[in-house]
Amino acid sequence: MHDDRKLVEARLERVLNERVRPAVHPATTPLTVEIWSTADEPVPVAEGLAAPTRPIVTGAPWGVPWGTSWFKVTGEVPGEWAGRTVEAVLDLGFTPRTPGFQCEGLVYEPDGTPVKGLHPRNNYVRVGAPAAGGEQVHWRIEAASNPDLEADGVPFQPTRLGDKATAGDAPQYVLGDMVLAVFDETVWNLVMDLEVLGELMAELPVDGARRWELLRAVGRALDAIDLRDVNGTAQAARDELAEVLAAPASPGAHRISAVGHAHIDSAWLWPLRETVRKVARTTSNMTKLLEDEPDFVFAMSQAQQFAWIKEHRPEVYARVKKAVADGRFVPVGGMWVESDTNMPGSEAMARQFVHGKRFFLEEFGIENDEAWLPDTFGFAAGLPQIIKAAGSGRLLTQKISWSKTNSFPHHTFNWEGIDGTRIFTHFPPVDSYNCEMTGAQLAHAARNFKEKGLARHSLAPVGYGDGGGGTTREMVAKAARLRSMEGAPTVQWESPADFFEKAEAEYPDPPVWVGELYLELHRATLTSQAQTKRGNRRSESLLTEAELWAATAAVRAGVRYPYEELDRIWKTVLLHQFHDILPGSSIAWVHREARETYARVARELEGIIEGAQRALAGAGTGELVFNSAPHTRRGVPAGGAAAAADEGGVVPVPRDGGGYLLDNGLLRVEIDARGLVVSAYDRAAGREAIAPGQAANLLQLHPDFPNQWDAWDVDAFYRNTGSDLTEVAALGVEGTSVRIVRTFGGSRVSQLLSVPKDAKRLDIDTEVDWHETERFLKLAFPLDVKADRYASETQYGHVYRPTHQNTSWEWAKFEACNHRFVHVDEPGWGVAIVNDATYGHDVTRAVRTGARAGTTTTVRASLLRAPRYPDPETDQGVHRFHHALVPGATVGDAVREGYRANLPERRVTGTAAGVAPLVGVDNDAVVVSAVKLADDHSGDLVVRLYEANGARARATVRVDGFAATRAVLTDLLERPLPGAERPAVADGGVALALRPFQMVTLRLPRG
């Protein structure tokens, strides 16, 4: 037979586009439209409903950037439409771009009852089925004129539209047709039939019979359509397709669990306040779709977004709560937001689950068993333990499929963290968290699934996301046709929990992946927007202090514990750890507000800390040093206060050849005439830390113009070129520090280098007035250490990464995350680099030959970038960083110095001779990460601690301030661990035996 395949496929495309789809609405009549606009912030619904309006017609411009317009839409159903299904088709001026990145609307009844959201793929509102004729239509539409930052079709171009302050007032949209229309359900179903078959047909083998069966059926259906009377012949065309649509899937077909989804970024190319409205629009649509489609199931993560609806749209929240109670609207993930997981500190990562799970428990009586992070940029190796400690045991993500170098070998597996905890993990092989239920996507999922022959189930999150929108009636219709169809995977709507139960049951012994889940993309998010990252780190540290001293003051002085304040502040900090805020990949508006929020949070936490410490110190003139760190320093106990002298530093002395020498008898540091550290000599070990012939404290500047994703990516080729900043504008002594000033481009760097009197540590305080664009600034430390691997702090421990590049997996980790320290060593001696605000870094090795033979391991901290998209002014201005070089450091020393840099001493005047710690631990390897009162207001003391060195440890935890007669091991939500033995308490001490990196939460009842 002649091969007419391409002819039929081309015919299908044209007939669908030009005849069949337009016939879905065969008759229309215009609506009357009026408008009222505000260029300021959104107004309450009641105000928008009552605002005076003026006429507006199709083709008229409207909507300043980030403005809100209220449309009044009225009309009457023509009498001749009686008995027919009628809906309004409302085009706000939508562009071909996907939902969430342009104008959006929420339709209301005149009394303010939300009806549904509007976006370019969901722009209808049903009037009646059937209509009576003469029926009056009265709606209001709250429309957001959010600018499309890629309206010209070219991505990643600098734009001033990312902040209301710079966006201007030019109208962003042109009003489209606003009409009432007859809805022909038969034609609409024909569209769905043809789309499903056309999409599936294109994915089947050309030499397979099934593809040709579909082709011939489609050809017969097209023959049955009278192009002059599509509506009258649509059913005949459908009849030609019925047989091929009904052919069941093979018993061995891949099985897809579809779950409705609308991944909504809590901020990204829109500010936080707009996300509140995005969530309301999406959930309005999804609750309506749940009413219309009995098989449909929708899942939504991020407790913060539920809380926003509860606060700002209670009438929508009531519908959500009902759908949750019915088991159709499924809260998932158990986190406050879908956060970044690389940069949040130990306690912050734990509190994401504490606050998220508690919200779902209190609001819905639901406890989630999965972490749901489809779009997060890689996963820290400490996360499995945190997920398990929160009472969950599963993880879903999709983002690892974006890796550019290596293809991850599994879709379903057990992920093992640094302490040995394993969680069941699934990466949907559909490779999208915005699945549209197309044949291409489902066929890809079945082909792509890496567990073939061992498992057959995968999950597909179905719906428009990022900017919201959710699942559409078209996606549901396609899923119904694909429930069981020959040549396609089967599709069934079900909850994530149902999917995981099936997946675990069929795959009881999956493969294991050990260590971090590194995303080979978006590495620059560890550095972009340095002030946001500093704000996060400082907030985490201040919260640690506030809880510690507030608990101490409550127990010792009867001071009220600020439960409500701490709860609110934690939620604010957790919100800003969202995976486009903390990573620095949002518009200027988001980061401007973040800086303001962090400053406000700091003021409030400083007040809580000061109030608690003053209550403990009394009202005298003596001076106490409060030590918030989990290690004793200079005689001040961890978590306590005592009198202590100033640490002080050694006075620099001139060095032969220029520069200065800093020597405290433990460490001798030489700074040359260029302001570079050419020697850091550990006197006790007789070891030089700096590689021979090289210099540390070396600022290096690279070009930074990635191929795409400017704020997100740094590409490996950035290392091919660069310059060392060795020219010095000023070099001199300032007190006990050496001051170094450099200028380059339009920027200025000022540094203070000092060595304390009694510590083996070089402190480096750097201030950068940064005015570069598309440049990457690094701070380098070439070390005379032969290290095949190095340690980076992560949540509740550290992770090892290779320094070599033997494989493509190792090569791809050319930029990685650390928290407070990086540690390199060879047997018996090591060096730590600690920081107070940076995360991104790289570690490389080189071999020296000749008289200076050996291995140089270079650690570089990433300080600043200057991408121009989506914030064209990224990081412009003044930044401050603290780093310390610690020669001779063990991992334990690195842990201690990391806490010291982030939890500085506080000096408070008072009468008390000292403040004994509430909690003490007799083993420095066991680190206390939180001391607080229980969240249930019981007054019980909660202590969280972990083994920090990566070895087994025994420790006794002692409590001073009340009689500790019993202790309970709990999960992160402070509930007793099922089946856990109660730890022994003797003489006020709790005896613990910890495995490497094990984290433990103790609850100590009072009274």
Q: So which residues are the catalytic ones? A: 375
Can you read off the two tokens belonging to residue 230? Answer: 């599509």
- Transcribe 917-986 into DSSP letters: -SEEES-TTEEEEEEEE-TTSS--EEEEEEE-SSS-EEEEEEE-SS-----EEE-TTSPBPTTPPPPPEE
Tokens 């017609």 — which residue? Answer: 57
Enclosing H/E stretch for 351: helix 346-364
**Which of the 8 DSSP states describes residue 757?**
T
Show the tokens assigned to 426: 């699934």
Q: What is the CA radius of gyration of the chain?
A: 31
What is each CA distance from 825 to 288, 361, 796, 887, in whole angstroms? 60, 46, 20, 10
In angstroms, rounded to a whole number, what is the distance separating the alpha carbons of residues 276 and 65?
17
Q: What is the C-alpha separation between 83 and 66, in angstroms, rounded?
A: 41
What is the C-alpha separation between 629 and 639, in angstroms, rounded? 6
- Give ∠ CA 778-784-786 in degrees, rounded to 5: 105
State the alpha helices, DSSP H only, in 799-890: 808-811
CB 77 within 8 A of CB 134: yes
> In this structure, which amino acid lies at residue 395?
L
> Exposed, middle or buried by CB within 10 Å (0-12, 13-18, 19+), for 850?
exposed
Pairing of strands 877-887, 512-514: unpaired
Please provide the DSSP assignment of 8-73 as one string. Answer: HHHHHHHHIIIIIGGGGS--EEEPEEEEEEESSSPPPHHHHHHS--EE--TT-EE--TTEEEEEEE
**183: which residues sit within 8 A by CB, 6+ positions away?**
24, 25, 84, 85, 86, 87, 124, 126
Are the C-beta atoms of residues 897 and 832 closer than 8 Å to each other? yes
Taking the C-alpha atoms of residue 276 and residue 264, their distance in angstroms, rounded to an integer, is 10
- Residue by residue, DSSP assigns 281-344 as HHHHHHHHHHHH-TT--EEE--HHHHHHHHHH-HHHHHHHHHHHHTTSEEE-S-SSS-B-SSSS
Helix, strand, coil distribution of the chain in percent, nearest 5:
30, 30, 40
Distance CA 372, CA 368 (A): 10
Which amino acid belongs to residue 792?
S
| Kind and range of the H or E run holding 137 | strand 136-145
Tokens of 772: 């570069």
End-to-end CA distance of the chain: 90
- Whole-angstrom CA distances from 243 to 196, 220, 240, 859 are 14, 12, 7, 66
Residue that has been written with the tokens 């899937």 in this structure:
249
Residue 732 to residue 742: CA distance in whole angstroms: 12
According to DSSP, the β-strands at 840-848 and 877-887 are unpaired
Query: Which whole-number Å values give the CA distances from 836 to 82, 315, 532, 575, 952, in the listed order?
Result: 71, 45, 13, 21, 28
User: Cα-Cα-Cα-Cα dihedral of 358, 362, 365, 370, to 10°?
Assistant: -20
Q: Are 733 and 652 in contact (CB under 8 A)?
A: yes
Task: Evaluate whether 760 touches 778 at the Cβ level (below 8 Å).
Answer: no
